[in-house]
Amino acid sequence: MSSNRTLMVLPGDGVGPEVVKETLRVVDWLGKNKSISFNIKEGLVGGASYDKYGTPLTDETLADSIDSDAILFGAVGGPKYEGVPFEKRPENGLLKLRKEMDLFANLRPAMVFPALVDASSLKPEIISGLDILIVRELTGGIYFAEPRGIEEVNKDTKKGYDTNLYTTPEIERIGRVAFDLARARKGKLTSVEKANVMMSGVLWREVMNTLFDKEGNGIEMSHMYADNCAMQLVRDPKQFDVIVTDNLFGDILSDCAAMLTGSLGMLPSASLGSIDKNTGKRHAMYEPVHGSAPDIAGKGLANPLAELLSLSMLLRYSFEMKEESDLIDNAVSKALESGPRTPDIMAPGREKAGTKDMMDLVIRKLEEITN
Ligand code: IPM
Ligand code: MG
């Protein structure tokens, strides 16, 4: 099956280009072996864009991204950009893409592959079989709300402040996404805020309860404070199925959940907009949860599997290619069973793999499974 879909590729900074390059080998493989092809467009984002154009996201790259059917994103940021003015920082390229495309629903699954149980810093019995999903609100809250700023109070003192603000419709739409996802899984939803200290948390809980009364059939919902949720995630993560939370808590809790699985280098994510009533399409961007990892960038050591699993999510959620997505997931799982591993998931008795070796192994598994 050939396709006229456009895949926008934004490798970004640090290890981003390395893991994207290896992941595109699987796109090639699918082209040759499954007759699937996309129109691929590439663009610069983050520091890479800043270096060339003086901005972390140009209008052209944003327009191409908006026009595409899905975006495969690498990572942005690095110590080189620490002195750059705040609005021009690499992270702002990513935040602008999320905001301009209204990618409000961020899905961050944390799954433990059987072969990686020992890579976690937690005891095997706590994490084996773990499969949870964090649904993070991505375009509101403290990341974007006004007022925010740094101002002078007097000649010796400044104040820096941010606003955590949510409206009823913003909470409802992320709540609905979480309900649907929970319904398609084990039906258990935990809504997380700090309604004990934050007004935005009080509203969050109120809106989630009202929504649940109207649309919550088929699921169970409970509430949890964010600090308790952080603790429960390391104490007994398997109590969760789907967690829905705001932008900042989602950022923090998803890093925590990711590490339960042994390595940040394994986790993909999807950021989805709402479905356009006229075209039936939705904007979507797929990216690994890990960042640009400047400490290992350029060394060919990064684990490319989170990027590859992000491609798998892209095929599943944006291109309705479930079979190909399953095939990739399966090949990753098999690649972990034996053979070399990247340093982040190293285990006794395994040889060391670099970024390319890891993907060579996955491609060998793709071939074994399909022949
Ligand atoms: C993430 C990252 C981003 C965030 C940064 C790079 C802006 O940490 O996607 O979790 O804070 O959202
Ligand atoms: Mg983060």
Ligand 1 centroid to residue 325 C-alpha, Å: 25
Would you list the DSSP string of 66-82? HHSSEEEEEE---GGGT
Closest listed residue to residue 297, CA positions, set 79, 21, 14, 18: 14
Compute the CA torsion angle 178, 184, 189, 193 (nearest 10 deg): -20
What pLDDT digit, counting tens, does each position of 160-184 carry? 999 999 999 999 999 999 999 999 9
| Tokens 């934004």, located at residue | 10
For ligand 1, is residue 64 a contact (CB within 6 Å)? no
* Amino acid 259: pLDDT: 87
| Residue of the CA atom closest to atom 1 of ligand 1 | 251
pLDDT tens for residues 316-356? 999 999 999 999 999 999 999 989 999 999 888 999 999 99
- CB of residue 251 inside a 6 A radius of ligand 1: yes
Question: 256 C-alpha vs ligand 2 centroid, how far in Å?
Answer: 10
Ligand positioned closest to the Cα atom of 306:
1
- What pTM was computed for the model? 0.94
Residue nearest to atom 5 of ligand 1 (CA): 91
d(CA 268, ligand 2 centre) in Å: 12
- Domains of the chain with bracketed CATH: 1-107+267-371 (3.40.718.10), 121-261 (3.40.718.10)
pLDDT of residue 3: 61
At 280 the pLDDT is 83
What are the residue ranges in the chain where pLDDT is below 50? 1-2
Catalytic residues: 143, 194, 227, 251, 255
> Residue 57: its pLDDT value, please?
98
